[in-house]
Amino acid sequence: MTGASRGLGRHAAEHLLRHHPDRHLLVLNRRPGLAAELAAGTGNRNVSEITCDLASFADVRRAAAEVDRPLSGFLGNAGLQMQSTRETTADGVEATFGVNVLAYHLLLNLLLPNFAAPARIVVVGSDVHDSAHNSMGLIPPPRWTSPHELARPADGGGKEGRRAYATSKLGVLYLVHALARRLPEGVDAYTYNPGLVPGTGLARDANPVARAVFAGVGRLLRATPVATGPEEAGRLLAEAMAGPRPGPSGSYVDRGEVVRSSAESYDERREEELWAAADELCGITGAERRTA
C-alpha cells in the first residue's frame, strides 16, 4: 500500500489491520517508522514497510526489487496536488503527472510477477477527472493532451496546478483500463473514487490563501451528504481492497458502488497511447517487460 501515513489512507491501513488481521500489510512510504506506528496503533504487528519515494524512478525500482513475497493485492493511495506545474520529480517530469500516473505505471509493472491469483489492484482516482463534475470552481476540469506534453513541466500557476491534478486522475483511469486488459486471469484492477473527503491534507502544497479556501469549504461541507469523513472514506477504500469483489476488472468504484466514470475516461486510443508513452518515460526495459 502507498499513502498510508495520513488522511483516508491512514484510516484505510488501520481498518485493514484491525478487520483483516490475517493479511500482512506492506506499506511503501517515504519515511521509515510508519509500520511501527500502525502496529502500535492497531495492536496488529502483521505489518512491515519499505521506504520509497514515488517521485524518483530509481527509488521505485529499488523498492520494487525489495518486495520478495507473493502479493494478493495492491492499494495505491499516495498522490500529489501541487500549487503549480513547475515542480518536477527527480527525473525531470512534471511532479503531479510523474507521481500520480507514471510512478504507478512503473511500480505496478515491476510488481506484476509477484501477484498470485486471486489478487486485486486498486488505485485511487477522483471524480474531478470528469469535466462535468461540479467542484465549486476549486478544481478546473482536466485537459488531456499527449502524455509527453503532460510530463513536461510548464509555467502554470495555482489554477493549472489544480488542473494537472484533475488531468492526472483521468490518466489513472486510462492506466487502469489498459492494465486490466493485460492482467492474467484472477488478477483484477480498479479505480476507486473516495468522493470529496475534507481534511486529508491534499492541498498542503497550495499557497496560504488557497489552503484557507479549501479548509473553509471543507468545514462547510462536512455536515452535508456531499462529503465523506476521512474515517468512513478509509473504511470504504479498505473494503474495496479486501472485501467482496467489487465488479468486473477495470471498473470504477465510487464509494463502494461500481458506476460508469465519465464518457471521456473510456478511450482505448488514449489508454494505449499512455501505456506506450509511460513505458518510454519510465524507461521500462525489455527485460522488465518480459518479467511482467
| pTM, rounded to two decimals | 0.90
Residue 60: is its pLDDT beyond 90?
yes
- What is the rounded average pLDDT for all residues in the chain? 91
- pLDDT tens for each residue of 115-166: 999 999 999 999 999 999 867 678 999 999 999 999 999 998 779 999 999 9
Q: Which of 161, 192, 195, 163 is nearest to 176 (CA)?
A: 192
Residue 7 — pLDDT band, cuts 50, 70, 90? very high
- Within the chain, strands assigned E span 25-29, 47-51, 71-76, 115-124, 187-193, 252-254, 257-259
Which residue in the block uniquely carries the three cell numbers 472485501? 243
Residue 277 — pLDDT band, cuts 50, 70, 90? very high
Q: Which CATH architecture has domain 71-291?
A: 3-Layer(aba) Sandwich (3.40)
- CA dist 292 and 288 (Å) reads 7
Q: Is 201 helix (H, G, I), strand (E, B) or coil?
A: coil
Q: Mean pLDDT lowest for which of 38-42, 185-189, 283-287?
A: 283-287
- CB contact at 8 A, 122 and 241: yes
| DSSP structure class, residue 54 | T
Query: What CA–CA distances, in Å, run from 215 to 92, 234, 286?
Result: 31, 19, 46
Question: How does strand 252-254 pair with strand 187-193?
Answer: parallel
- pLDDT tens for each residue of 11-27: 999 999 999 999 999 99
What are the sequence ranges of the domains in the chain? 71-291
